[in-house]
Structure formats: structure tokens, C-alpha cells
Structure 1
Amino acid sequence: MSAYTTILGEARGRPFAAIVGWPIAHSRSPALHGFWLKQHGIDGHYGRLPVEPNRAALEELVAFLRDTPNARGCNLTLPHKIDIMPLLDRIEPAAARIGAVNTVIKQPDGSLEGRNSDGFGFMEALRYNAPTWRADAGPVAVLGAGGAARAIVASLVDAGVPELRLINRTRSTAIDLGVAFTPADGRQIVVDHWEDRARALDGVTLLVNTTSLGMTGKPPLDLDLAHLPHSAAVYDIVYTPLETGLLAAARGRGNRCIDGLGMLLHQGRMGFEAWFGVAVDVSAEQRRAVAADLGA
């Protein structure tokens, strides 16, 4: 039985969307969207669609979304956020600037639009969990230079951060990211060497980890926090586990800490509202429900 047959059976003719990736069993998106469906009494479905990382498989996905009347769209996770873009009918300007899509919205005429809600989700969770942090207060350090980092760097630049320090194991990738998002008003994006990552934390107001280091099944993030101000916030977008080694170390020295679950919850709002026509908010009850689904 194909994944498409499975999700059609689960939807039973109801409007549906899905999280698409490879692999996909670990995703908690069904739990967060399922919470909203139940909360608002919507007769819809949100499931999982495993799609292999090749063009033919993505073309099959796009055709399925276009041709299935009750399909409303999908979310995209690794490794499809970039490769899907040429196959869509339209890319929202913000997503085109970031160079990645995490949400596909099926329009009334059947066309597919790509959007990116990662930056929105990141900033909303930051504002909620660190309400005293100000974008213009000082430098921000970002670890990593992948798709999530692109959305986060764009949102931090737009928020008015005066200096961004990019730190990535492959320095050339960080340089490309810095060139892409350096603002025209003279604010700086500095690319530091991975070996100098500890010293790059000197004086920052916010440290963001966008890498997979510290995630369950991945190597730990080796980072000395001695140079990090105790007043700085520390934000790890990893959510498995919720308390990463980085957050545990930062919490132990008194830094305000933000885990990746808030970003996951808030980034889902854009798609849900477009697919099911209801405005939604993130609540403490929903966070507890998704955390329980994680086994946290």
C-alpha cells in the first residue's frame, strides 16, 4: 500500500494536509495540527507522507496535491525544502528571499504556492520566551548555515539586529549566507571560524543553535560558554530532546533558555490557517500535549 493510499484512507474524504519528508516518522507535526483540529471542532485530517529525496518522487507529490480534491497542501521538512521550489506554481517573495519552502498552500484554482514560516515561528517563540530581549541591543551569534538558519538570519536582520556572527563547520556556506543577507544600511554580518566559536560569543545578547548537533542520535554540540554573557538568551531550535546539552549548560549558568518546541508550534500556524480557514494561537495546553507526544 502506497503512502498516498494510506493518507487518503485516513482522511476519508475530509480536507487534509500532511508533513512531507524522508524520513518522517519522528515528526510531531501531526500532534500539533491534530490539537488545533480537535480544539476547533474541524472535521479534517493532518498526517504523514514519506517522500523519497528525488525529483520523480517530488513530481508525484505535486501531482497528488493538485489532483486530489480534498488535499489542501503540506508542510516540508528535510530534505525537500529547496528541491520542491521549481515544481511549485508560485513562491511567496519572503520564501524566495530565504531560498527554502516549508509550507505549500493549494489555491482554489488548484495551483500550489510555496511559503516559509520558519522565521515567523522563530521570532514568535523568541518574543514569548524572552520578552525583555531587544533586537537592537547588541550582537547575535548563529550556529549553522542550513535552511533553517537562512530563515532565522533573514528574520533577525529584518528585526534590526546590529551585528550577526555566523559560525558554521563549513565556513564557505556561512560566507554565502552572510553575502545573501547582509543589509544595505551598513549593519554587519561577520563569519567566524568554527574553531573560534567560543570567543565569538563575547558580548552577544542571543546565541542561536540551528545545527543538528545535540539532537537525539546526533553528536553533541561541543561549545564552551565561558565568553557568553550571563544576560544573553540561548535558543536551541532542536526539540528532540527538549533539554539539549547546550540548554542544560546555559541554564546551569543562569542564562534564559528557549527550546525548539515553541518555534515548531508557531511555524505551524500559517499553514493551518490557510488549509482549514481558522485562525489559531499557541497555548500552554497545546505545548504540553505536543511535549507529551515527544515523550518529554
Structure 2
Amino acid sequence: MKHFQRREFLRLGGNLAAGVALAPIACKLMPKGEETGKLKAFGIQVWTVRDVFPQDPKGVLKQIADAGYKQIETFDGPQGMFWGMGNTGFNSYIKDLGMELVSAHNNIYTDFEKKVDEAAAIGLKNLTYAWEGPNKTIDDYKKIAEDFNKKGELCKKNNIRLVFHNHDYSFRAQNGQFGQDILMQGTDAGMVDFEMDIYWVVAAGQDPEAWFKKYPNRFTLCHVKDRNKNPVEDNGKNSIELGLGSINYPQILKTAKDNGMKYYLVEQEAYPNGTSIQAIQVDAAYMKKLKF
């Protein structure tokens, strides 16, 4: 299977360079008659290109724009979440490329007031936190929810949403309770939103659609990331180009949209078939063709 995927990837990459439609990697489409729409815009979490982004953020952003992405989600790297350009410089450069900065992953426990001020100054609407770590108790999750509300209040005063991005651990039950439930029920919907990493929900054995339906309008961003059809034990290695994995995105994203999803952000964490730049090009081609 691995050899098939690599051959398919290389052939599709050639088609992309030639400007040919990527029919072989087309979405896993629903039956005829159920295709109701396409995404007006989609974005990318630049963590996807973390191997090349720090060395040349401007050059890589240009390649991202050229691939067809319209939205950027940054992360708090060695040069900060604005990558040495400052908040206004980073935002302006992204706008010049025809894209929009929609979210920034950051450590909300370090200089958070400064980050809120910088985000507010450029109209950034989402400050996203992505890691509480596993092995949390239910009481831990209750305390985390309280803290999210406090930080969410500061964000709300600046027209920003505080967002929590999940991994698998909050979707794994502890004595019949999910940490994710505690966070969602314990936070104020007027201040705190959630970004569902669909890959990690699937990796935890959960149904993303069920969670979208359970908490409508709470998941406003999502990470669109495919999972190998033959996963290994280390989930960090199971990420694969969109369309080559096992996740039924046409169906899942339709349910997401019906329940308040606003931003669809590609993320890929492993590149079994080529480079990170080649991967984002294939992923973008998939998103352009996706119908639901």
C-alpha cells in the first residue's frame, strides 16, 4: 500500500505542476445527488511546513498562497507568532498575498496580555491554545475551564475569541467522563470557542460528527488532516496527504458546516510521500475539489 501511495503522490504532483486536475486524488465523494456545495475558502496551519517555515517565512507564505490557500493560522515559534515581522508586518504581508490571518496558536500562560494587545491591533479574531497535556483528572479539566473563562473575558474585551485546540487525550474517557465535555460545558460560549482537530478525534476512537451535533456552534475552527488507512501505534506518524487516508471528509465537513463551522484549516504532520511543500500542494488540490 505504501508503494502505491507514493507512486500516486508523485504522479499527482506532476499533474499539479502541469496545471492538470487531480482526478485520481479526488475526494471520497458521496453518492450522486448528495453533493451540495464546496468550500468558499480554506486555510492552513503553518506548523505543516515547520521544517522550512522558520528559515524563510515570507518565501514559504508565497508558496502557500500560490497553492491556493486563503487563510493562515500561525503558531508561536522561535521568532514569536509573527515570525520576526511584528504583528502589523506579518499581517500586511499575508494580506498582500491575498490571504487572511485567522488564528494564532500560542502559549496563553506566557505574556498573554501582550499577545491579546498585538492580536487586537491587527483585528485577529482567534487566539488558540493547543496543549494542556495528557494525564489530566476531571478536577484538572474543571480548573482549566475556569482559567479559560478568565482569559476568554480578556479576549472578549478586545473582540477576540479564546480557542482551545484538542489532541486525542481530551477525547479519551476517564471513568465514563470526557475531559472535552468538561471543557465545553464549563466554559462560557460567549467567550470561548473550540478548534476540532478531526484527526485526533478519530485517533481517540470518537465520531467527529457526533461531537459537532452535541455542541453546535462551539467548534468554529477545525484541522483537516487525514489518517493513514493502516495506522501504526505512534499516532504522530499516521498523518498523510488528504484523500489518501481513511477519514471521510466530505461527510464530516458537511456536518461541521451545518453546526457552525467557520474555518477549515489543513494540517499535515508527516510526509510519507515527499516534501512538506509537495504535501501542501496536494492537500490544496484536494480541498479545491472537495464537495459535500
Which TM-score band applies after superposition, normalised by the shorter structure? 0.3 to 0.5
Please report the TM-score for the alignment, with normalisation by the length of structure 1.
0.33
Please report the TM-score for the alignment, with normalisation by the length of structure 2.
0.33
- Of structures 1 and 2, the one with the larger relative CO (CA 8 A, separation 6+) is 2
